């Protein structure tokens, strides 16, 4: 398991959790936020509901059997969104409600290829991307077409 996780979500960084592997090829590699980061989908909706003064509103998506959760991801996130994230959700069932209603698992997790620019993969961390805000210009002219007539 460690080799699978380490092989897909590690970096040569000086912060994070050192990999518990004796292999010199993994020296200096660190695990980082992915185990807890995907839980942000759930916790952000709980915080949103609290912020709007409707603390139970988030449950209409996470416990409603008619709700469908789709996670559109890059292919490098398949492991975490199809195995680890769903295991976390299964473990969270029963924490937020006293009844036995199961928390919704993702209905579909479509994975996409990487986007490239000039032959290199887009990467915000490597500063190789196009900022939508900068490319589109000032916000004020973009808001005008959204105003209602009258």
| Number of domains the chain contains | 1
Q: Which of 96, 84, 87 is nearest to 46 (CA)?
A: 96
The CA-to-CA distance between both ends of the chain, in Å, stands at: 61
Structural domain contains residue 136: no
Please write the tens of the pLDDT for every residue from 88-105.
899 887 788 888 788 999
**11 — pLDDT class (breaks 50, 70, 90):** low
Structural domain boundaries enclosing 99? 33-120
Structural domain contains residue 58: yes
Structural domain contains residue 142: no
Cα separation, 85 vs 76, in Å, equals 14
Answer whether residue 7 shows pLDDT above 60.
no
Please write the tens of the pLDDT for every residue from 104-137.
999 999 998 888 889 998 888 888 888 877 776 6
Structural domain contains residue 137: no
pLDDT > 70 fraction of the chain, expressed in percent and rounded: 78
Q: Element (H or E) spanning 102, and its range? A: none
Structural domain contains residue 78: yes
CATH number at residue 114: 3.40.50.620
How many degrees, rounded to 5, is the angle at CA 149 between CA 146 and CA 150?
A: 140
Answer whether residue 6 shows pLDDT above 50.
no
Contact indicator for 122, 115 with CB cutoff of 8 Å:
yes
Structural domain contains residue 134: no
């Amino acid at each position: 398991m460690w080799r699978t996780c380490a092989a897909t979500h590690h970096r040569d960084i000086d912060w994070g959790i050192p990999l518990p592997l004796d292999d010199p090829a993994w020296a200096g590699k660190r695990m980082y936020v992915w185990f807890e980061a995907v839980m942000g989908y759930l916790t952000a909706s709980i915080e949103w509901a609290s912020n709007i003064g409707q603390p139970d509103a988030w449950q209409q998506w996470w416990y409603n059997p008619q709700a469908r959760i789709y996670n559109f991801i890059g292919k490098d996130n398949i492991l975490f969104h199809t195995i680890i994230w769903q295991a976390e959700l299964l473990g969270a069932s029963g924490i937020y409600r006293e009844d036995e209603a199961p928390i919704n698992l993702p209905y579909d997790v479509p994975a996409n290829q990487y986007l490239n620019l000039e032959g290199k993969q887009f990467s915000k961390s490597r500063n190789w991307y196009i900022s939508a805000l900068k490319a589109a210009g000032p916000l004020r002219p973009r808001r005008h077409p959204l105003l209602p007539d009258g």
